[in-house]
A and B are shown apart, each in its own frame.
Chain A
């Protein structure tokens, strides 16, 4: 089952002098974020989570998001040796922001209905508003 995560892979044109430890660290970080996004999709979006589980995910998301912000700033440093990770880290930052938004401001079914009615007017929806 897919989540909102995208595949992780090192860029094909990794510079030879890019330190291996930095490559490994960033690869592991991207994989950790993908793992979080997949779990969040499976356990929060596809199910009705308990308050405790929701709270755990909010905590996890908050710190992944903070780490993403720091890393995003770091890879933009022109001297950073693994700057080819920049686009992937920026992508993870966007996905984590979206995750944070969905955890903290979930849309109700009635709100979703109203938006879809605005975008696709005069069309009967499946079922009725809960």
Chain B
């Protein structure tokens, strides 16, 4: 997988797993910065890219589950 895409997915995943607070704010800022960089580089709007990342996150999570882990996660 592309390193930049993986970094973006990891940052979003880390943010949604972090309890609300200053650490979550810091992670969200990192995610926003990465998102902004990629959006500018590719000339895709930041909002569109964000929606694509959050939509794709479900499949990325399933693909990265340890062997034997149920793949449905309750989100199918």
Contacts and interface: CB of A to CB of B under 8 A. Distances in A.
Interface of A: 1-3, 5-7, 38, 41, 45-48, 98, 101-102, 106-109, 111-113, 115-116, 118-120, 123-127, 130
A111 B41 CA distance: 19
Contact of B52 (A2, A5, A112): A112
B16 A2 contact: yes
Contacts of B18: 2
B25 A48 contact: no
Given A2-B17, A45-B54, A107-B55, A120 B4 contact: yes
Contacts of A3: 16, 20
Given A7-B25, A126-B62, 13 more contacts: A1-B19, A2-B16, A3-B16, A6-B20, A48-B75, A107-B51, A111-B52, A112-B55, A115-B48, A116-B56, A119-B5, A119-B44, A120-B4
B20 A113 contact: no
- Taking residues whose C-beta sits less than 8 angstroms from the other chain, chain B's interface range is 35 or more
Contact of A126 (B1, B41, B42): B1
B7 to A, nearest CB: 11
Given A5-B20, A7-B25, A47-B74, A113 B5 contact: no
A127 B59 contact: yes
A39 B74 CA distance: 16
A126 B60 contact: yes
Contact of B38 (A1, A2, A108, A119): A119
A102 B52 CA distance: 11
B42 A118 contact: yes
A112 B17 contact: no
Contacts of A108: 55
